[in-house]
């Protein structure tokens, strides 16, 4: 906390003269204005396509409303069983109270199956829209002390994020709400309120366990930053933090422990029966691994070796017990787990040596990137977990801005296959285009003005502080465009209905390059910065 404050004070002092802020610049009114504009768009999107996740969440409403707590995690009426941690179940229970007034069939465990009346759609969509204000609050907490230019730009980056719009308001999920909790936790850490940060993060873990990837970073950081001083004070603080976290987990899991359901809860939350990759490959490291395997198998067969074709296929959906690889060794959940931990290690070391609040957002985002790159059965939606926090630090330097610009495009583009119907095509495309244009305009104007001041004194730094999309970057973005054009227009002409997985595979591979770049860049940045 101390360093952050000093840093902030310094920038204040450097300003030529701190003018009194004009009256109209009340951040809270402005952020509400910005978020209400996006709310209007979300309202318009209510009748658009939604995925089976809509039915999943409806079913959870029904389970939590009509069954006693002890049966929440053992019910199997619908294939979409409850597999989120208890707080999320409680959250659905809370929503179902209102839902039962809107349309009682929606929360009926049997009659409600695949129920999609207009009030149901309206209710569920509006519940996402309203809970999104947690995200707005989180982002407000994080940016309230920034200059107004940074502030507004960051709001636009997050609140108009096309990825969130696609996943939450079209595909249907509650990521905005969950990411909002993460941002609140991050803002507390950045302000030095470690206890609050740790507490909120524990709450988040009880909402969605996928966020646990960053737990090692939190652990090391809090251990070193919060628990400081002499042994007594160290131990005292450790006990305080520990009891806060334990209290949260007890509140979440206690009732299930009481009903003897705890094993069932964990069984549902960690279904390792699923394969390494999803039917549509998330653009991560394993894409390269699979491709390498295919290429090696192909070459070996050519050279006359007898290679057994794998019985399971990656393109066919679920993977059973047999190894899907022809040549390379099979990957197990344990291996992915170790690799993720190994990848996070550099940042753990950094956090151990010098735990600074101003680095925490970067570290957390990096941890989620590692989880995304090397994790088991990763979903492409998980890229939001680091894209949104990275928006907060996108304005720290021109390199950050540059990196964020690519990353936000790649991450949103990798979500395109989620919406495969014709009606939503222009919507997702325009959302991305609008956001990319705003980002580009915002970054380039932000970094030219900042550099104009420095340029007078340091001519040499001029080019370094300017936001430009390099020729390599342009080439990559054009590549993405080419892949999209191929998938939409050329592929149907060439193959008609055959090889439907080919365009998807190309999107995965293309985006995997971008993600790989982002991961390496973040790693380098973490090692470099002090």
Q: Which residues lie near other proteins (CB under 8 A)?
A: 15, 19, 21-22, 24-25, 29-30, 33-34, 36-37, 39-41, 43-48, 122, 147-149, 151-153, 156, 422-423, 426-427, 430-431, 433-434, 437-438, 441-442, 444-446, 448-449, 452
Q: Which is nearer to other proteins, 162 or 324 (CB)?
A: 162
Q: Nearest-5° angle of CA 185, CA 186, CA 188?
A: 65
- Cβ proximity to other proteins, 73 vs 160, nearer residue: 160
Comparison of 313 and 449: residue with beta carbon closer to other proteins: 449
What gap in Å lies between CA 335 and CA 471, rounded to an integer?
37
DSSP per-residue letters across 274-317: S-SB-SSPPSSHHHHHHHHHHHHHHHHHHTT---PPPSS-STTS
Identity of the residue, 162 or 283, whose beta carbon is nearer to other proteins in the bound complex: 162
Q: Least separation, in Å, of the C-beta of 70 and other proteins?
A: 39
3 state SS for 424-460:
HHHHHHHHHHHHHHHHHHHHHHHHHHHHHHHHHHCHH
CA angle 109, 114, 116 (to 5 degrees): 110
What the block records as the tokens of 22 is 């004009």
CB of 425 to other proteins, least distance (A): 9
Q: Are 212 and 340 in contact (CB under 8 A)?
A: no
**Shortest Å distance, C-beta 146 to other proteins:** 11
- Residue with smaller CB distance to other proteins, 39 or 522: 39
b/e string for 393-403 if b means 16 or more Cβ within 10 A? bbbbebebbbb
DSSP state of 354: -
Residue number, 34 or 183, with CB nearest to other proteins: 34
**For the residues of 466-502, what is the DSSP string, one character each?**
S----HHHHHHHHHHHHHHHIIIIIHHHHHTTS-THH
CB of 446 to other proteins, least distance (A): 6
- CA atoms within 13 A of residue 501's CA, in its CB half-sphere: 9
To the nearest whole angstrom, how small is the minimum distance from the Cβ of residue 496 to other proteins? 17
Residues 6+ apart with CB under 8 A from 435: 157, 160, 161, 162, 408, 412
Shortest separation between residue 36's beta carbon and other proteins, angstroms:
6
Give the shortest CB-518-to-other proteins separation in angstroms: 24
- Least spacing, CB of residue 128 vs other proteins, in Å: 15
| Nearest residue (CB) to other proteins, 330 versus 452 | 452
* Minimum CB distance to other proteins smaller for 24 or for 472: 24
Q: Which is nearer to other proteins, 122 or 328 (CB)?
A: 122
With 0-12 / 13-18 / 19 or more C-beta atoms within 10 angstroms meaning exposed / middle / buried, residue 26 is exposed
The whole-angstrom separation of Cα 342 and Cα 143 is 32
- Residue number with CB closer to other proteins (149 or 224): 149
Residue among 220, 214, 222, 146 at smallest CA distance from 179: 214
**Is the CB of residue 244 less than 8 Å from the CB of residue 195?**
yes
Query: Is the CB of 416 or the CB of 446 nearer to other proteins?
Result: 446
Which among 85, 178, 171, 168 is positioned nearest to 138, based on CA atoms? Answer: 178
C-beta of residue 168 within 8 angstroms of C-beta of residue 128: yes
Residue with token string 């504009």: 37
In whole angstroms, the minimum distance from the beta carbon of 27 to other proteins comes to 9
The dihedral over CA atoms of 113, 114, 118, 124, expressed in degrees to the nearest 10, equals 80
Q: Return the number of the residue (332 or 423) whose C-beta is nearest other proteins.
A: 423
DSSP H or E stretch at residue 25: none
Q: Comparing C-alpha atoms, which of 342, 345, 393 is closest to residue 365? A: 393
**Closest distance to other proteins from the beta carbon of 28 (Å):** 12
Q: CB of residue 492 vs other proteins: minimum separation in angstroms? A: 13
Measured from the CB of residue 521, what is the shortest distance to other proteins in angstroms?
24
**What's the CA gap between 491 and 508, in Å, rounded?**
16
């Amino acid at each position: 906390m101390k360093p952050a404050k000093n840093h902030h004070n310094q920038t204040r002092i450097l300003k030529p003269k701190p003018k009194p802020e004009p009256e109209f610049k009340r951040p809270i009114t402005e952020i509400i204005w910005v978020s209400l504009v996006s709310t209007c768009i979300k309202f318009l999107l209510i009748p658009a396509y939604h995925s089976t996740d809509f039915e999943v969440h409806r079913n959870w409403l029904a389970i939590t409303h009509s069954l006693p707590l002890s049966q929440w995690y053992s019910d199997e009426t619908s294939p979409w069983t409850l597999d989120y941690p208890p707080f999320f179940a409680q959250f659905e229970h809370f929503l179902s109270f209102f839902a039962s007034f809107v349309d009682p069939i929606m929360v009926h465990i049997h009659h409600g199956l695949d129920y999609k009346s207009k009030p149901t759609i309206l209710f569920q969509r509006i519940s996402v829209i309203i809970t999104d204000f947690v995200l707005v609050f989180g982002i407000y907490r994080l940016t309230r002390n920034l200059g107004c230019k940074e502030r507004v730009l960051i709001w636009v980056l997050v609140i108009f994020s096309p990825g969130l719009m696609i996943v939450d308001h079209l595909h249907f999920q509650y990521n905005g709400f969950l990411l909002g909790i993460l941002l609140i936790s991050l803002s507390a850490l950045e302000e030095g309120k470690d206890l609050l940060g740790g507490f909120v993060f524990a709450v988040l873990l009880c909402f969605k366990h996928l966020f646990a990837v960053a737990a090692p970073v939190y652990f090391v950081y809090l251990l070193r930053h919060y628990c400081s001083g002499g042994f007594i004070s160290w131990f005292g603080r450790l006990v305080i933090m520990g009891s806060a976290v334990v209290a949260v987990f007890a509140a979440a899991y206690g009732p299930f422990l009481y009903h003897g359901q705890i094993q069932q809860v964990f069984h549902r939350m960690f279904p390792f029966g699923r394969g390494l990759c999803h039917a549509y490959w998330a653009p991560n490291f394993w894409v390269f691994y699979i491709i390498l395997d295919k290429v090696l198998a192909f070459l070996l067969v050519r050279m006359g070796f007898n290679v057994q074709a794998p019985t399971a296929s990656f393109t066919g959906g679920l993977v059973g017990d047999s190894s899907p690889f022809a040549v390379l060794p099979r990957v197990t959940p344990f291996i992915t787990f170790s690799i993720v931990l190994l990848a996070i290690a550099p940042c753990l070391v950094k956090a151990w040596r010098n735990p600074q609040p101003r680095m925490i957002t970067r570290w957390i985002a990096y941890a989620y990137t590692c989880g995304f790159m090397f994790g088991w059965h990763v979903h492409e939606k998980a890229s939001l977990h680091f894209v949104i926090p990275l928006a907060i630090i996108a304005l720290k330097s021109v390199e950050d801005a540059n990196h964020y610009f690519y990353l936000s495009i790649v991450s949103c583009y990798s979500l395109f296959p989620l919406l495969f119907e014709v009606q939503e095509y222009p919507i997702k495309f325009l959302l991305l285009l609008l956001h990319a244009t705003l980002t580009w305009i915002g970054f380039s104007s932000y970094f030219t003005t900042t550099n104009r001041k420095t340029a007078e004194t340091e001519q040499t730094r001029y080019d370094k502080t300017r936001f430009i999309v390099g020729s390599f970057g342009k080439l990559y973005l054009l590549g993405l465009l080419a892949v999209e054009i191929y998938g939409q227009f050329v592929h149907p002409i060439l193959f008609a209905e055959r090889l439907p997985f080919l365009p998807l595979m190309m999107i995965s591979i293309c985006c995997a390059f971008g993600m790989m770049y982002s991961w390496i860049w973040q790693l380098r940045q973490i090692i470099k910065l002090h």
